[in-house]
C-alpha cells in the first residue's frame, strides 16, 4: 500500500500563460477526483499569491462540462503570478495550507515554478509538515531540462510557424527586408520554429538568429545584403534574446556604439525596440550611395505567441496528460517530483511522462543543442524533424 | 446581344495583401474560363509592373485543383505592387496589352487600385483602345466607399478579434496595462474589431481609440487611470492612425512636446514606436510618488493581420464571388466598373455584389460612421452587430 495521507489538494498556475496551461490544471483535477484519500481539490488564484491569501476556488465542485471548456481556453484560468517565495513567504503559505488541511500541492509552471516547488517542499519537510509537492511543466520557451519538450511550446511554435508562413507569402508579394522578433530570452527553440514551413527553396525565413549564437552586427548586415542580392527580398527571424560576444543585449550594444540612437526610457526587451533598431541599422548600412534606403519593416510577435486560442492538438493532449501524471504520482505515494515529457517514438509520434527530481529541473535552463543549429544563422533538419510531429496540422498552400 | 469583343483578359493584384485576395483572383478566372469571347486569361506579376514588362502567366492553363489551393492561400499569389501609373506608365501598359491582344483588365485592390483602374480606363478610351477595366475590391482597412464591407476586412478582423480575446485572458492572468496597436491608418474598422469577443462585463478591450476621434493625451492617461482603479488591469486597442486635434500623428506630438524622447530615425508608423511611446507615457504619468511604475506592455500587431492563413469563411466566399461578379459584368458587355459588396440580409446573413462606377469608388476613403462609435473610447452595439456575421466561428472559452 502506498503512503497516501488523507487530506485536501491545491493546484496553482505560475509565470507567463500558455495556450494549454489549463489542460494541465484540468488534468490534475481529472487525476485526483474521486480518490478516497483526496478531499477537496482547491485552485489557488494567482499562484502562490492566492495560497498566501487563502484566495481559493473548489475545483471539484465545478461542472465537468465547464471544466472541459476551461481546459480548451488559453491563459491561466486561475490567474498567475511572478512571485517567487522566500522562507518568510513560505511560512505564510504553510499557514494557509494547514488551515485548509492541504497535503498535496501541484504547481504548473516553468523552471522558476519548479524551483518554488522545491523550496516549498524543502521548507515543509524542515518544519515537519507533510506536504507532497509536484511540479507540472509549462513554458512556451521550451527551456526546461529533462524534458524532450515542454507543454505550451508546441502551441507557441505553431503560432510562430504559421505567422512566418503567411508573412513569407506577404514578403514574396511585396519584396523587401522583413524582421520578425520572436520570444525566448535565453533559448532559441521558439525562434527556430519560424523555419518549419519553408516549402520552396527560396521561402523564408532566410536568416534565423538564436540567443545560443553570438550575434555579430557586421556579419548580420553582410548576411542580409547577400540575401537581398540573391533573392531581392529577405525574411529574418530574430530572437528577442540575441547577445553580442560579451553576452550584452544587441539593443544596448547598438546604442552604446552609436549605431542607432537611444530611445529614452524604452525598455530593450518586451517592446518593439529591438526590431526597430535592427531595421534602422539595415536602412543606414544598406542604402546605396545617392540611392534610396531599402524597404525594411519589423514586427515583434508579442503575447499572441503564448495565448493564441488555436493550440496544437498534440500539445493539448500532452499538457492534460502531464497534469494527470502528477496526480498519479501523488496517489502512488511519491513525496515530490517534476513531471517530464519523454518522446517514446518518432514515427508515428508517441510520448510519455516520467517523474524526475525537483532539484534536477529547478532553476536550470535548457538551450538549443548544437545539432539543432546550422551555421551561424540557420536551424538544422534534425531540429525540424524534432518539431514537426508536435505542432499539429498546418495550412496547405498553393502558388503560381 | 451584349457587346463583348473577342480578346484576351488580364488579371492583376495590387497593394497590401489580404488572406482572401487569391479567392478574387480565382473568381475572375472561374467567371471567364470557357467563354467564347475570351481567349487567354493572363495573370500579371506584381500588378501594373508586370503589365508594363509583359511578365505574365497563363492562368487558364493552371490545373483547377491547384487553382483551388491558390485560392485558399493568403497574400497575392501573382505578387503585388504599390506603383500608381501616370500617363507615361499607362502608355507602356497599353503597349503590352495590345501586344497580348488584351481587351479585359481586372484589377484587385483597394481605393488606390480602383483609381488606377479609372486612369487606365480613361486613357485607353482617349487613345481609342477598347479596353474594359474592372476593379475587384480588397482592403483589410475596410475603407472603400459604396461597399457594406470589403473582402479582406472580415479575415483581418477575425485575426484582431481572436488576438484580443487571447490577450484579454493573458491580461486577466497577469494584470497590468496592455496596449495593442492595430492597422488602419485612416479608418478605425480594424481597431474596432478588437471589441468583438468581450464576453464578460470586465473583458477587454476596456478602451478603444480610433482615428476618427481626436486623441487627447491627457484624457487618455485619465481613461487608463480610471480603468486601473476600477479593475486593476487595462487592455487598450489603439489604431496606428490616431491623431491629435491638429490631425498630427500622436507619436510626433509626444516627441514635439517633450513627453517622450525622440527615437532617432525610427519611423512613426510601420514600427513598434507608437505603442512603445504610449507605454513610456503611461509609466511616467501613472507612477505613484515614491512608488514603482505600473506594469505596461505594448504589442504592435503587424503583418499577421493581413496574411494569417485562417480566413473567415464568409470572407473567402465573398472574395471569390466579387471576382466572379467582375467577370460576369465584363461578359454582360459592361465597359468598366467596380464590384461593391452589399448586405442583403442581416439574419440569416446574406450578401450580394453590384457594379458601381469606378469614379464613385476611386481614391475615396470611408470612415467609421458615427453610429458605430460610442463616446470617445468605445464602439457601439451597432458596430458589433455589423461585424458579427462576417468573421466566422470563434473559439469558445470557459472560466473559473
DSSP of B139-178: -TT---TT-SS-TTHHHHHHHHHHHHHHHHHHHHHS-SEE
Question: What pLDDT score does B264 carry?
Answer: 45
Contact B26, B72 (CB under 8 A): no
B62 in contact with A, Cβ within 8 Å: yes
Kindly give the interhelix angle for B217-231 and B273-286, rounded to the nearest 10 degrees: 70
- Cell numbers given for A67: 471544466
Q: Which of B70, B264, B273 sits opposite A398 (nearest CB)?
A: B70
- Cell numbers given for B7: 480578346
Instruction: Flag if A69 and B302 touch (Cβ within 8 Å).
Output: no
Q: Which of A276, A278, A287 to mutate to test the interface with B (most CBs of B within 10 A)?
A: A276
C-alpha–C-alpha distance, residues A384 and B159, integer Å: 27
Q: Please give the average per-residue pLDDT across A8-23, as a whole number.
A: 97
- Cell numbers given for B265: 530615425
Q: Is B347 helix (H, G, I), strand (E, B) or coil?
A: coil
Residue-wise pLDDT for B85-103, tens only, equals 888 998 899 999 999 999 9
C-alpha–C-alpha distance, residues B147 and A289, integer Å: 45
Q: Is A72 helix (H, G, I), strand (E, B) or coil?
A: coil
Residues of chain B contacting A66 with CB distance shorter than 8 Å: 398
Q: Is A284 helix (H, G, I), strand (E, B) or coil?
A: helix
Half-sphere exposure of A64 (CA within 13 A, CB side): 6
Q: Tell me how many degrees the CA angle A244-A245-A247 measures, rounded to the nearest 5.
A: 65
Contact B171, B177 (CB under 8 A): no
Candidate from A323-332, B266-275, B279-288, B390-399 with smallest mean pLDDT:
B266-275
A167 in contact with B, Cβ within 8 Å: yes
Q: Please give the average per-residue pLDDT across A69-89, as a whole number.
A: 94
Q: Number of Cβ pairs closer than 8 Å across A and B?
A: 230
Q: Which of B16, B57, B69 sits opposite A396 (nearest CB)?
A: B69
B232: pLDDT strictly greater than 60: yes
The minimum CA-CA distance between A333 and chain B, rounded to whole Å, is: 29
C-alpha–C-alpha distance, residues B29 and A296, integer Å: 34
Residues of chain B contacting A280 with CB distance shorter than 8 Å: 264-266
The minimum CA-CA distance between B272 and chain A, rounded to whole Å, is: 4
A398 in contact with B, Cβ within 8 Å: yes
C-alpha–C-alpha distance, residues B98 and B87, integer Å: 16
Q: Please give the average per-residue pLDDT across B286-291, as a whole number.
A: 91
According to CATH, what is the number of the domain B7-151+310-361? 3.40.50.450
Q: Please give the average per-residue pLDDT across A267-294, as a whole number.
A: 86
Residue-wise pLDDT for B199-209, tens only, equals 999 999 999 99
Question: What pLDDT score does B2 carry?
Answer: 80
| Cell numbers 539543432: residue | A372
B269: pLDDT strictly greater than 90: no
Instruction: Flag if B264 and A266 touch (Cβ within 8 Å).
Output: no
User: CATH topology for B153-309+370-391?
Assistant: Rossmann fold (3.40.50)
Residues of chain B contacting A46 with CB distance shorter than 8 Å: 173
Instruction: Flag if A308 and B163 touch (Cβ within 8 Å).
Output: yes
Candidate from A1-5, A146-150, A340-344 with smallest mean pLDDT:
A1-5
Pair type for strands B132-137 and B336-346: parallel
Instruction: Flag if B303 and A178 touch (Cβ within 8 Å).
Output: yes
A52: pLDDT strictly greater than 50: yes
Average pLDDT, chain A: 94
Residue of B31, B187, B48, B182 lying closest to B115 (CA atoms): B48
What is the rounded radius of gyration, in angstroms, for the C-alpha atoms of chain B? 23
C-alpha–C-alpha distance, residues A94 and A100, integer Å: 10
Question: What pLDDT score does A48 carry?
Answer: 95
Instruction: Flag if A309 and B275 touch (Cβ within 8 Å).
Output: no
Same fold, B7-151+310-361 and B153-309+370-391: yes
Q: Is B314 helix (H, G, I), strand (E, B) or coil?
A: helix
Contact A97, A123 (CB under 8 A): no
Candidate from A175-184, B88-97, B102-111, B229-238 with smallest mean pLDDT:
B88-97
A354 burial (CB, 10 Å; 0-12 / 13-18 / 19+) is: middle
Average pLDDT, chain B: 94
Output DSSP code: residue B263: -
Asked if A244 is an active-site residue, the reply is no
Question: What pLDDT score does A261 carry?
Answer: 60
Residue-wise pLDDT for B122-168, tens only, equals 999 988 899 999 999 999 999 999 999 999 999 999 999 999 999 99
A265: pLDDT strictly greater than 50: no
Instruction: Flag if A397 and B72 touch (Cβ within 8 Å).
Output: yes
C-alpha–C-alpha distance, residues B356 and B341, integer Å: 10
A267: pLDDT strictly greater than 60: no
Residue environment code for A75-114, b if the CB has 16+ CB neighbours within 10 A, otherwise e: bbbbbbbebbbeeebbeebbebbeebebbbbbbbbbbbbb
**Phi/psi-derived region of residue A179, left when phi > 0, alpha when psi is between -120 and 50, beta in every other case:** beta
pLDDT-based confidence at residue B266 (cuts at 50, 70, 90):
very low
A87: pLDDT strictly greater than 90: no
Bridge partners of residue A109, in order along the sequence = A137
Output DSSP code: residue A377: T
- Cell numbers given for B374: 460610442
Residues of chain B contacting A272 with CB distance shorter than 8 Å: 271-273, 275-276, 298, 300
Question: What pLDDT score does B227 carry?
Answer: 98
A235: pLDDT strictly greater than 70: yes
Residue of B143, B221, B144 lying closest to B377 (CA atoms): B221
- Measured CA to CA in angstroms, residue B70 lies from A197, B65, B337 at distances of 16, 9, 26
ipTM of the complex: 0.96
A279 in contact with B, Cβ within 8 Å: yes
Q: Which of A29, A156, A237, A271 to mutate to test the interface with B (most CBs of B within 10 A)?
A: A271
Q: Concatenated DSSP letters for B20-53? A: SHHHHHHHHHHHHTT-TTEEEEEEETTTHHHHHH
Domain boundaries along the sequence of chain B: 7-151+310-361, 153-309+370-391
Question: What pLDDT score does B265 carry?
Answer: 41
Residue environment code for B190-226, b if the CB has 16+ CB neighbours within 10 A, otherwise e: bbbbbbbbbeeeebbbbbbbbbbbebebeebbebbbe
pLDDT-based confidence at residue B253 (cuts at 50, 70, 90):
confident
Residues of chain A contacting B72 with CB distance shorter than 8 Å: 395-398
C-alpha–C-alpha distance, residues B12 and B20, integer Å: 14
Percent of chain B surpassing pLDDT 90 = 87
Amino acid at each position: 500500500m502506498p503512503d497516501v495521507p488523507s487530506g485536501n489538494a491545491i493546484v496553482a498556475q505560475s509565470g507567463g500563460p500558455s495556450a494549454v496551461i489549463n489542460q494541465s490544471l484540468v488534468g490534475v483535477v481529472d487525476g485526483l477526483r474521486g480518490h478516497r484519500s483526496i478531499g477537496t481539490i482547491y485552485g489557488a488564484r494567482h499562484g502562490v499569491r492566492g495560497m498566501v491569501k487563502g484566495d481559493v476556488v473548489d475545483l471539484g465542485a465545478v461542472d465537468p462540462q465547464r471544466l472541459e471548456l476551461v481546459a480548451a481556453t488559453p491563459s491561466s484560468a486561475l490567474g498567475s503570478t511572478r512571485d517567487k517565495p522566500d522562507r518568510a513567504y513560505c511560512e505564510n503559505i504553510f499557514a494557509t495550507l494547514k488551515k485548509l488541511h492541504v497535503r498535496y500541492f501541484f504547481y504548473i509552471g516553468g523552471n522558476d515554478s519548479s524551483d518554488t516547488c522545491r523550496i516549498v517542499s524543502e521548507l515543509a519537510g524542515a518544519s515537519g509538515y507533510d506536504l507532497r509537492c509536484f511540479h507540472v511543466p509549462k513554458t512556451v520557451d521550451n527551456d526546461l531540462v529533462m524534458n524532450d519538450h515542454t507543454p505550451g511550446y508546441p502551441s507557441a511554435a505553431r503560432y510562430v510557424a504559421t505567422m512566418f508562413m503567411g508573412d513569407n507569402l506577404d514578403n514574396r508579394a511585396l519584396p523587401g527586408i522583413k524582421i520578425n522578433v520572436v520570444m525566448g530570452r535565453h533559448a532559441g527553440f521558439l525562434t527556430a520554429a519560424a523555419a518549419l514551413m519553408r516549402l520552396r527553396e527560396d521561402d523564408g525565413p532566410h536568416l534565423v538568429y538564436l540567443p545560443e549564437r553570438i550575434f555579430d552586427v557586421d556579419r548580420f548586415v553582410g548576411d542580409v545584403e547577400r540575401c537581398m542580392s540573391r533573392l531581392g527580398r529577405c525574411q529574418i527571424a530574430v530572437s528577442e534574446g540575441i547577445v553580442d560576444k560579451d553576452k550584452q543585449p544587441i539593443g544596448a550594444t547598438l546604442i552604446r556604439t552609436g549605431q542607432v540612437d537611444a530611445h529614452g526610457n524604452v525598455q530593450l526587451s518586451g517592446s518593439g525596440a529591438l526590431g526597430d533598431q535592427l531595421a534602422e541599422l539595415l536602412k543606414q548600412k544598406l542604402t546605396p550611395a545617392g540611392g534610396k534606403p531599402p524597404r525594411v519593416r519589423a514586427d515583434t510577435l508579442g503575447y499572441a505567441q503564448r495565448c493564441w486560442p488555436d493550440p496544437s492538438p498534440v500539445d493539448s493532449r500532452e499538457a492534460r496528460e502531464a497534469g494527470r501524471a502528477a496526480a498519479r504520482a501523488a496517489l502512488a505515494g511519491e513525496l515530490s517530483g517534476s513531471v517530464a515529457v519523454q518522446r517514446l517514438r518518432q514515427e508515428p509520434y508517441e510520448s510519455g511522462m516520467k517523474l524526475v527530481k525537483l532539484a534536477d529541473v529547478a532553476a536550470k535552463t535548457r538551450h538549443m543543442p548544437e545539432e539543432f543549429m546550422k551555421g551561424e544563422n540557420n536551424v538544422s533538419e534534425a531540429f525540424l524533424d524534432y518539431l514537426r510531429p508536435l505542432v499539429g496540422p498546418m495550412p496547405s498552400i498553393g502558388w503560381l
